[in-house]
Amino acid sequence: MNDPKQLLGIKGASETSSIWKLRIQLMKPITWIPLIWGVICGAAASGNFEWTFSNVLASLACMLMSGPLLAGYTQTINDFFDKEIDAINEPNRPIPSGKISIKDVKIQIWVLLIAGLIVAFLLDLYAKHSFPSVLLLALGGSFVSYIYSAPPLKLKQNGWLGNYALGASYIALPWWAGQALFGKLTIVTAILTLAYSLSGLGIAVINDFKSVEGDSKLGLNSLPVVFGIKNASRISAGLIDIFQLAMVVVLVIIGQHLASVILVLLVIPQITFQDMWLLRDPLKFDVKYQASAQPFLITGMLVTALAIGHSFLVA
């Protein structure tokens, strides 16, 4: 019987010997959702998306590139370089458990990367770009994914820098890809999404709680290791809330008052769930908090994107 946790790549999953289930577990499908949503937000922010058959297919291809392929590549390469940490924190993961060979893992990394870049190239052809913007975004995101996990840079060794790189990869990059595919990516919207990615930094901190023991032993300065569990949970909540509220101010400035009110209303339940789960016991309730609060976060992203799409920022 399939264990949903195993198929989604969630901690605490039962073990399996199926090579394909192991491959899927390495790709952590649960992490694809924000990237797929980011593409939707970018398409909305472009102000040019039309519900044609070809546009829907192109958007699905962009979601495939951002989620299963390049996010799958990111998660697989992260597991490859984190096998010593996982041997402490999650010994039943595919690599430290020995259920999948290093050769198979390397093949998976290359297949996902190359497939993702091919799809990006085809999307530029579809959009008739004179400048291969989607391909360059895919290359840039893949490079960030590599230096996030791989030595000597291994950005995840620094809690602030690593988590921001992760947050930007999950919010800004797919947004940019969706917007570049259907419209024009402006400097202003690029800066706004990078600022929005600071709330993604707060989300990334939550993923560090489950790895505190291994990170501490191997000298990785994640925020929970540096500041302690309680303080890191406060930092996480603060970043998530403050930079969404900063977007509220931006929406007011550009005249999108209804969107700003809706965004405030979406932040309120997030703060409630932070008090219920994140700030009380992030080690125990991290998954429950994310399942409860993140739908409001990503809905707020779409509200912001739609507002940008109807403002002068896309002109």
Question: What are 251-305's pLDDT values in tens digits?
Answer: 999 999 999 999 999 999 999 999 999 999 998 998 899 999 999 999 999 999 9
**For the residues 160-176, what does the mean pLDDT come to?**
94
pLDDT at 315: 47
pLDDT tens, position by position, 218-248: 888 899 999 999 999 999 999 999 999 999 9
Task: Answer yes or no: is pLDDT of 104 > 90.
Answer: yes
pLDDT at 246: 96
Task: Answer yes or no: is pLDDT of 12 > 80.
Answer: no
pLDDT at 287: 86
Q: Which residues contact 240 (CB under 8 A, 6 or more apart)?
A: 199, 202, 203, 270, 274, 293, 297
pLDDT at 85: 87
Is domain 4-314 annotated with CATH 1.10.600?
A: yes
For the chain, the structural domain boundaries read: 4-314
pLDDT at 82: 92
**For the residues 50-78, what does the mean pLDDT come to?**
97
**For the residues 12-17, what does the mean pLDDT come to?**
63
- Alpha-carbon distance of 182 to 47, in angstroms, equals 8
Least confident interval from 30-39, 42-51, 217-226 = 217-226
User: pTM for the complete prediction?
Assistant: 0.88
pLDDT at 314: 45
Task: Answer yes or no: is pLDDT of 5 > 80.
Answer: no
- Alpha-carbon distance of 119 to 213, in angstroms, equals 38
* Confidence category of residue 13, pLDDT binned at 50, 70, 90: low
pLDDT at 44: 95
Task: Answer yes or no: is pLDDT of 30 > 70.
Answer: yes
Q: What is the mean pLDDT of the chain?
A: 91
pLDDT tens, position by position, 132-145: 999 999 999 999 99
Whether the bond between 152 and the residue before it is cis, its omega within 30 degrees of 0, is yes
